[in-house]
Amino acid sequence: MAFWRRISRQMQAATETVAVAPASPVIERAKTPRSRMMRQYDLVERVRSYNPDTNEDLLNRAYVYAMKAHGTQTRASGDPYFSHPLEVAAILTGLKLDDATIVAALLHDTIEDTEATRAEIDNVFGHEIGALVEGLTKLKRLELVSREAKQAENLRKLLLAIADDVRVLLIKLADRLHNMRTLEFVPHASRRRIAEETLDIYAPLAGRMGMQEMREELEDLSFHTLDPEAYAVVMQRLDSLAERNRNLIGEIESQLSKNLQKNGITARVYGRRKQPFSIWTKMERKSVGFEQLSDIYGFRVVMADVEACYRALGVVHTTWPVVPGRFKDYISTPKQNDYRSIHTTVIGPGKQRVELQIRTEEMNQIAEFGIAAHAFYKEGMGSPTERLKHESNAFAWLRHTVGILSESANPEEFLEHTKLELFHDQVFCFTPKGKLIALPRQANVIDFAYAVHTDVGNSAVGCKINGKFAPLSSELQNGDEVEVLTSQAQAAPPSAWESLAVTGKARAAIRRATRTAVRDQYAGLGRRIVDRLFARAKIEYADDKLKGALPRLARASIEDVMASVGRGELKASDVARAMYPDYKEERMVRYGAKKGFMAKLKQQSPHPARSASVIPVRGLNSDLPVKFAPNGGAVPGDRIVGIVSPGEGITIYPIQSPALKDFEEEPERWLDVRWDIDETMPQRFPARILVHNVNEPGSLAQVATVIAEHDGNIDNISMSRRSPDFTELTIDLEVYDLKHLSAIIAQLRAKAVVARVERVNG
């Protein structure tokens, strides 16, 4: 003892520095002056207040040992490092934990950050405390949400570490709570990572263990760091509301108590305001404004026993109108984290919506402190079998999970057999390699793909959920293993995905990829139009020369110029004049006025020789913004012409299309185009046919059968009755080429139920 007294005197001078948080409630901030750090007797008195049989000598030895071990170490705030484990211990005294937990809290950083060893801890404080400190040391080395770490493996290690003794988790949560309270002193670059880690892992874990007080503070501290503007707005609204309703809470508390007393029911009634993060997430989830929220204030009615809870419920429901759909009985059906309470909402005093939570004193303790309110980990509980009788559902879930872990050779196997129910506000899914992906509720595979990597999202073409093929729009559930199937052939995601995605990251990536793909298509078209003009004019084109002419075109880059030409915002001749001021545009011949031009086009080979002045057309999946004639389409084998439409790209028409007459007065919009089909990768193209069918049962089926048997695809069909004996069918088909289309038409003409078939050229 002389040794410890000497060490105490040596270190006493260092104790005049930092305050510690009050013992209760858990989330209350430190109020003592920063000029004084808690003394040994302060800590002992805190523990003695709820545990008269506390081992004072053990607490004193741990206090001095930790202070000596950390010595002159300081925190980022400049405070002595020992102030941190002392704050953690103080938080845990608010949870009324046993001596071993308080001592382990004081020592939790010694093995990691000082010269102390596990053997020394065991020798001085015993094996139980040494095991707790060792478990915390292993957790400290985990970086749960780091970019480099495999999150699934880390979560597995976390559950393994806390399952042997839940006190490890309680100390870890208290450690994180104090670190979040002092996050302002951490370098700015690390704050967001720590806050995200807290919001993703520690806050939900506290909630899963039923520790709502701690969960709420962890969420609010993270919210304040991650979105300070939103936090400030919510707090401003809350303060304004509190000012307007200054006496409302007291009035409601008073009326509730009086009504219950009139019916012979004694209750403790108190109101509380919801936390900023809870309010913000509800506004986001339900897409409502602050003014539309009806349960910002909640009231707890604490009773003596369960029977009194239901009697109180009867009094409340017969006194005030009930809000439909807002009643839940968690007493008869407790939540998985042991939470028990009756929830109801009524139109109370002042026509205000009042949310009530009716529970017993024991239920109230569990609701606030969760697993820490249970006695199974406290001292004096007898044998392990006896202690298991007091085990909570939350810890039973943890033990069950670890039972699966102990049988698993790797985290992937664990994830295969375990559906995590840990995170109620998020969905946690996994890649086939076990990487943990956190997503909001109602997220789907598209969100998952973009959460893995932007390139994975952009190239996603399919997926497997738990080994089974599923649509990309499938909503994900906790524990799903998702394999995203990708294809390099998909240059950009469909723009329709933006409306399907839930996460902002996915939506932003889809918008960006879509814009880039469309811009690239227009830029590609514009470049070919420019090349065509320069080749015909026999003048040289060079990017360097165009770069010097950008100011005259009022464009920032060459790609912007080409995209503008492709969209029809600039003419190719404007580019030529910007590069060659002396360029004189050759007066173009009006195609309609020169009958020989159309005749020449109709006589040309369907596969004209390749040249720089002719633009190749590959199909809808090409790198050009191409579409086909809306009333009849075009197929390989047709002699074709392209019409440029501003902002829409090229529309391909067969040369026999009567619609081309509409463009005879706009020769600058005409393009020479040719088919450029890859025979190794056949594509379908649109065509339209008109079928005059005999009006008898089964005739339509015969037509459809012919098309199907010859590998045609019906895209759309419309019917009209021209006479009592005949029906006119307009059928939009997808075929490979003109030969394929002609074969289908020939087979249809051979059918007795078909009077006439002809191709439509719109």
What are the pLDDT digits (tens) for 280-303? 877 777 677 776 666 677 888 998
Instruction: Point out the domain boundary residue: 225, 250, 273.
Output: 225
Q: What is the reported pLDDT for 16?
A: 39
Instruction: Point out the domain boundary residue: 617, 649, 674.
Output: 674
Q: How far apart are CA 134 and CA 107, in angstroms?
A: 10
More confidently predicted of 289 and 65 = 65
Q: Which residues, 6 or more positions from 295, have their beta carbon under 8 angstroms from its beta carbon?
A: 274, 345, 353, 355
Mean pLDDT of 214-240: 89
Check if the beta carbon of residue 562 is closer than 8 Å to that of residue 549. Answer: no
| Plot region of 116 (φ>0 → left; ψ -120 to 50 → alpha; else → beta) | beta
Q: How far apart are CA 239 and CA 397, in angstroms?
A: 40
Query: Are residues 12 and 132 both part of a single domain?
Result: yes
- Domain of 460: which CATH number? 3.10.20.30
If you ran DSSP here, which 8-state letter would residue 517 be given?
H
* Strand ranges, E, within 331-398: 342-347, 353-360
* Strand ranges, E, within 309-443: 328-329, 342-347, 353-360, 426-430, 436-440
Q: With cut-offs at 50, 70 and 90, classify the pLDDT of residue 400.
A: low
Query: Are residues 191 and 215 both part of a single domain?
Result: yes
**What are the two backbone dihedrals, phi and then psi, of residue 317, each rounded to the nearest 5 degrees?**
-75, -25
The half-sphere exposure of 184 on its side-chain side, counting CA atoms within 13 A, is: 5
Percent of the chain with pLDDT over 90: 14
Check if the beta carbon of residue 86 is closer than 8 Å to that of residue 46. Answer: no
- Of 679, 687, 674, the C-alpha closest to 748 is 687
- Domain of 327: which CATH number? 3.30.460.10
Is 264 a residue whose pLDDT tops 90? no
What's the length of the chain?
A: 762
Q: Quick check: helix, strand or coil at residue 450?
A: helix
Q: How far apart are CA 411 and CA 418, in angstroms?
A: 10
Choose the weakest-confidence range: 135-144, 282-291, 400-409. Answer: 400-409
Q: With cut-offs at 50, 70 and 90, classify the pLDDT of residue 21.
A: very low
Query: Are residues 502 and 520 both part of a single domain?
Result: yes
Check if the beta carbon of residue 404 is closer than 8 Å to that of residue 395. Answer: no
Query: Are residues 244 and 353 both part of a single domain?
Result: yes
Quick check: is 389 in a domain? no
Is 555 a residue whose pLDDT tops 50? yes
Pairing of strands 713-721, 754-760: unpaired
Report CA-CA distances (Å) from 732 to 191, 347, 437, 687, 719.
59, 60, 44, 6, 12
Query: Are residues 499 and 563 both part of a single domain?
Result: yes
Quick check: is 176 in a domain? yes
Query: Are residues 141 and 242 both part of a single domain?
Result: no
Instruction: Point out the domain boundary residue: 649, 674, 699.
Output: 674
Choose the weakest-confidence range: 343-357, 400-414, 501-515, 606-620. Answer: 400-414
Quick check: is 251 in a domain? yes
Q: How far apart are CA 288 and CA 316, in angstroms?
A: 28
Range of the domain at 339: 231-373
Confirm whether pTM is higher than 0.95. Answer: no
Residue 314: CB atoms within 10 A of its CB come to 11
Q: How far apart are CA 1 and CA 63, in angstroms?
A: 14
**What are the two backbone dihedrals, phi and then psi, of residue 80, each rounded to the nearest 5 degrees?**
-55, 140
Check if the beta carbon of residue 376 is closer than 8 Å to that of residue 387. Answer: yes
- Of 521, 497, 519, the C-alpha closest to 509 is 497
Beta bridge partners of 407: none
- Of 526, 379, 504, 502, the C-alpha closest to 446 is 502
Quick check: is 379 in a domain? no
Give the total number of structural domains in the chain. 6
Query: Are residues 650 and 697 both part of a single domain?
Result: no
Positive or negative torsion for Cα 339, 342, 343, 349? negative
pLDDT digits (tens, 9 = 90+) for 661-716: 888 777 767 877 888 777 777 788 889 999 988 888 888 888 889 998 898 999 88
More confidently predicted of 671 and 608 = 671
Q: How far apart are CA 159 and CA 402, in angstroms?
A: 7
**What are the two backbone dihedrals, phi and then psi, of residue 572, each rounded to the nearest 5 degrees?**
-60, -30
Q: What is the reported pLDDT for 476?
A: 92
Beta bridge partners of 674: 616
Quick check: is 418 in a domain? no
Query: Are residues 726 and 664 both part of a single domain?
Result: no
Task: DSSP for 155-200, please give it.
Answer: HHHHHHHHHS-HHHHHHHHHHHHHHHHTGGGS-HHHHHHHHHHIII
Q: How far apart are CA 483 and CA 690, in angstroms?
A: 45
Q: How far apart are CA 570 and CA 237, in angstroms?
A: 51
More confidently predicted of 378 and 436 = 436
Cα angle 297, 285, 218 (rounded to 5 degrees) comes to 65
The half-sphere exposure of 520 on its side-chain side, counting CA atoms within 13 A, is: 10
Mean pLDDT of 30-38: 51
Query: Are residues 328 and 468 both part of a single domain?
Result: no
Q: How far apart are CA 207 and CA 199, in angstroms?
A: 11
Is 590 a residue whose pLDDT tops 60? no
Mean pLDDT of 605-612: 46
Choose the weakest-confidence range: 187-191, 218-222, 296-300, 588-592. Answer: 588-592
Choose the weakest-confidence range: 70-74, 568-572, 697-701. Answer: 568-572
**What are the two backbone dihedrals, phi and then psi, of residue 655, each rounded to the nearest 5 degrees?**
-65, -20
Query: Are residues 174 and 32 both part of a single domain?
Result: yes
- Domain of 693: which CATH number? 3.30.70.260
Amino acid of residue 599: A
Beta bridge partners of 757: 691
Q: How far apart are CA 557 and CA 144, in angstroms?
A: 44
| Plot region of 625 (φ>0 → left; ψ -120 to 50 → alpha; else → beta) | beta
Q: Quick check: helix, strand or coil at residue 721?
A: strand
Q: Quick check: helix, strand or coil at residue 328?
A: strand
Query: Are residues 212 and 167 both part of a single domain?
Result: yes
Is 61 a residue whose pLDDT tops 80? yes
Q: How far apart are CA 218 and CA 177, in angstroms?
A: 6
- Of 291, 457, 272, 431, the C-alpha closest to 367 is 272
- Of 747, 761, 609, 758, the C-alpha closest to 686 is 761
Quick check: is 78 in a domain? yes
Choose the weakest-confidence range: 188-202, 600-614, 681-695. Answer: 600-614
Task: DSSP for 412-428, please give it.
Answer: HHHHHH----S-SSEEE
More confidently predicted of 753 and 333 = 753
Is 153 a residue whose pLDDT tops 70? no
Amino acid of residue 410: N
**Strands of 328-329's sheet, edge to edge?**
268-273, 297-303, 353-360, 342-347, 328-329
Q: What is the reported pLDDT for 385?
A: 36
Cα angle 726, 730, 735 (rounded to 5 degrees) comes to 130
More confidently predicted of 440 and 531 = 531
- Of 679, 699, 672, the C-alpha closest to 740 is 679
- Of 49, 35, 120, the C-alpha closest to 83 is 35
H/E/C letters for each residue in 636-688? Answer: ECECEEEEEECCCEEEEEECCCHHHHHHCCCHHHEECEEECCCCCCCCCEEEE
Q: With cut-offs at 50, 70 and 90, classify the pLDDT of residue 475.
A: very high
Catalytically active residues are 112-113
More confidently predicted of 34 and 259 = 259
Positive or negative torsion for Cα 666, 667, 669, 672? positive
Quick check: is 113 in a domain? yes
- Of these ranges, 77-86, 132-141, 201-210, 502-511, the one predicted with the greatest mean pLDDT is 77-86
Check if the beta carbon of residue 453 is closer than 8 Å to that of residue 486. Answer: no
Q: How far apart are CA 207 and CA 210, in angstroms?
A: 5
Quick check: is 533 in a domain? yes
More confidently predicted of 157 and 104 = 104
Query: Are residues 192 and 121 both part of a single domain?
Result: yes
Q: How far apart are CA 284 and CA 301, in angstroms?
A: 29
